[in-house]
Structure 1
Amino acid sequence: MRIELTSVYVDDQRAALEFYTEVLGFSKHHDIPLGEHSWLTVVSPDAPGGPQLLLEPAGHPAVKPYRDALVEDGIPSAQFAVDDVAAEYERLTGNGVTFTQPPTDIGTAVVAVFDDTCGNLIQLITEKPGMV
């Protein structure tokens, strides 16, 4: 068993695609029209055959209260691994990304949390070698 696909709910698929590709640096993998929305996935350019992130339309009535509660409590909807959280923080703040938590050492890792402009908080993490 392996993880091939995971998703985040987004307010606007086109805006999310722009943010996730142009700002974060992911690559578009699938963009298949399905009625008014698309099967829209992105992948890491470092692992184009790796897990896909589905930019899922947030139209279901349960999504808004769920995401609002997560954001209010500061809970990320997804977590992305990076080699150096501090370097990504600098790169992304330079691209206008708003962080709700700057790089923070939590003992076994360094984390930071940003607003993806699409309704979610996303956590970046760099695990410390030998600590996890």
Structure 2
Amino acid sequence: MRRVALVTLVVDDDYDEAVRFYTEALGFRLVEDTPRPDGSRWVVVEPSAEGQGTALLLARAKGDVQRGRVGDQTGGRVGFFLHTDDFARDHARMLAAGVTFLEQPRHESYGSVAVFQDLYGNRWDLLQPAD
């Protein structure tokens, strides 16, 4: 079996703020937070309590080029897709936690969806796929 295990998401200098956003506002689970010898941290979060999906490696930006990409890692496109089995529940919880949605929920042939921004401005779809 093969799968994409981690996707790097470049964040600003404050790891703790990133962890808070992903765990509290989005409801992800903190999998690992290990200090590294260079002063950085190996921080992994994932949306699934079962640990069966792709996780995010929250990586602190190093240098001006990486800092310039924080929040715009996909050129303004939706670059991340958070699937849910209960759109209404997760949408309401995320709104209550202060997550910024860029549109009202839509019900498309492929499912219920709404675009939101993460802490840095990266665009995500919250998506409950159609059966």
Name the TM-score, length of structure 1 as normaliser.
0.80
Q: How far apart, CA to CA, are the structure 1 residues paired with 2:86 and 2:115?
A: 14
Residues 3-49 of structure 1, C-alpha deviations (whole Å, 9 max, x = no match): 21122222232211011112211111111212232110012353135
Q: Secondary structure at the match of 2:43?
A: strand
Flag as ranges the 4+ runs of structure 1 deviating above 6 A.
none
Give the conservation status (yes or no) of the 8 Å contact 1:89–1:102. no
Give the whole-Å Cα distance in 2 for the aligned partners of 1:111 and 1:66. Answer: 24
1:59 Cα deviation (Å)? Answer: 3.1
Percent identical pairs in the alignment equals 31
The runs of 5 or more residues in structure 1 that have no matched partner are: none
Matches within 5 A, 1:45-84: 45-48=48-51, 50-60=53-63, 61-62=65-66, 64-65=68-69, 67-68=71-72, 70=74, 73=76, 75-84=77-86
Residue correspondences, number: 127
Question: Which of 19, 22, 29 is residue 20 of structure 1 equivalent to?
Answer: 22
Deviation at 1:128, TM superposition (A): 0.3
CA deviations on 1:108-127 (whole Å, 9 max, x unpaired) are: 12211212113422211111
Provide the C-alpha distance between the structure 2 equivalents of 1:84 and 1:93, rounded to a whole number of angstroms: 14
CA contact (8 A) 1:8 1:78 kept: no
